[in-house]
Amino acid sequence: MTFHTDTPFTIAGRDFSSRLLVGTGKYKDFDETGAAIAESGAEIVTFAVRRTNLGQEAGPNLLDVISPSRYTLLPNTAGCYTAKDAVRTCRLARELLDGHNLVKLEVLGDDTTLYPNVVETLKAAETLLADGFDVMVYTSDDPIIARALEAMGCCAIMPLGSLIGSGHGIQNPHNVRLIVEQSNVPVLVDAGIGTASDAAMAMELGCDGVLLNTAIAHAREPLRMARAMKNAVEAGRDAFLAGRMPRRQTADPSSPFAGRING
Amino acid sequence: MHIQLNGEPYTLDADLTAADLIAQLGLTGRRVAVEINEEIVPRSQLATTLLAEDDQVEVVHAIGGG
């Protein structure tokens, strides 16, 4: 039995076989981080940039756990509330990674919701694109903003499913679908995924991928959840490609009526 | 000489380059990136970049995040 082959998942000119992208925050320790990411099968891994703690013994470095030779690293601008800070953070990340220019841009509105500030996001994207960055952009699930970010040249549009770290899943699947249908660059649900069915739903909506962190890191068994997410993304993608059956108002028996013993 | 290092006041005993400062902090060879007054200092220029009074210096590294 052969299947039609899937179209490649391409980000900024590179093909990836895994459509699951993961973060590196909130794990118990680096061992758990490394093991969970390996179990997830993710090839693109995001991390944050922060001031180095001075005057402390330098411990192990995250980049020893998620080696740039094994993973495609995706520095993010988490914690930035202005375009200026996000741009500075991306430039520091590029220096940190010896010129690697793929970034996840997120500019946040406030620390209660961590909702994207799309005005600052648009400003930051413009500067970063002019400076040669490949920008995967975290944004609201507003199709008009998504279209504007694509038109500017962002290489992936990443609407939230729900608030970062909330685990509330995809609150507005209709908007996510609108963004998927209008976009010519990959669309990934980023934020809000709580469990495997949320990730599968994103893929069934036609998203090209899913980016998540807390759903794995804060599961009771992170490694098992990492595997569940890997399977969910693959299952959701297959279901999307297979094309779901039409919905009906009434029942439609799977067994034939003809030949029943009571017929 | 006084600078701001990662948002805190920091006193230098002598004229130092950015590379000297990194060495003094025990970070030589570590994966860090340096910014002075909101401009990146490329690794190749750390040894030739002299720190000046009131410089705002940021030294950053990668940490876990989503």
Nearest Cβ partner for B65 among A25, A52, A58: A25
Q: In this complex, do B63 and A47 lie within 8 Å of one another by their Cβ atoms? A: yes
Q: Which two tokens stand for residue B40?
A: 């990146």
Rg (CA), chain B: 12
Q: Report pLDDT for A3.
A: 76
- Residues of B in Cβ contact (< 8 Å) with A48: 62-66
Residue B44 has pLDDT above 90, yes or no: yes
Nearest CA to A21 out of A138, A153, A172 is that of: A138
A192: left (phi over 0), alpha (psi -120 to 50) or beta: left
* Amino acid symbol at A215: A
Does the domain at A9-242 match CATH 1.10.1840.10? Answer given as no
Token pair in block for residue B25:
């902090």
- Sheet of A134-139, strands arranged across: A102-105, A134-139, A156-159
pTM of the model: 0.93
Q: Which amino acid is at A25?
A: G
All structural domains of chain B with their residue ranges: 2-61
Q: State the count of interchain CB pairs (< 8 A) between A and B.
A: 102
CA distance A116 to A109: 5
CATH superfamily, with its number, for domain B2-61:
Beta-grasp domain (3.10.20.30)
Amino acid A4: pLDDT: 78
pLDDT tens for residues A227-250? 999 999 999 999 999 999 999 999
The residues spanned by each domain of chain A are: 9-242
A52 is in an annotated binding site: no
H helix count then E strand count, chain B: 1, 5
Do A33 and A213 contact (CB within 8 A), yes or no?
no
- In terms of CA atoms, which chain A residue is nearest residue B38? A88
Q: Nearest 5°: phi and psi at A45?
A: -130, 130
Task: Tell me the pLDDT tens digit for each residue of A210-230.
Answer: 999 999 999 999 999 999 999
Q: pLDDT band at A58, cuts 50/70/90?
A: low
Do B43 and A50 make contact, defined as CB atoms within 8 angstroms?
no
Question: How far off is chain B from A257, nearest CA to CA, in Å?
Answer: 54
Q: Which value does ipTM take for this structure?
A: 0.95
Q: Ranked by mean pLDDT, which of A3-7, A56-60, A142-146, A249-253 comes out on top?
A: A142-146
**Of the partner residues A52, A94, A214, the one whose CB lies closest to the CB of residue B59:** A52
Report residue B50's pLDDT band, with 50, 70 and 90 as the boundaries: very high
Which chain B residues are Cβ-neighbours of A46 within 8 angstroms?
65-66
Q: CA A101 to CA A133: how far, in whole Å?
A: 5
> What is the C-alpha separation between A182 and A110, in angstroms, rounded?
29
Encoding tokens for residue A58?
A: 């330098």
In what helix (H) or strand (E) does residue A210 lie, and over which residues does it extend?
A: strand A209-212
Q: For A163, what's the count of Cα atoms within 13 Å in the CB-facing half-sphere?
A: 8
pLDDT score for A17: 95
- Confidence category of residue A54, pLDDT binned at 50, 70, 90: confident
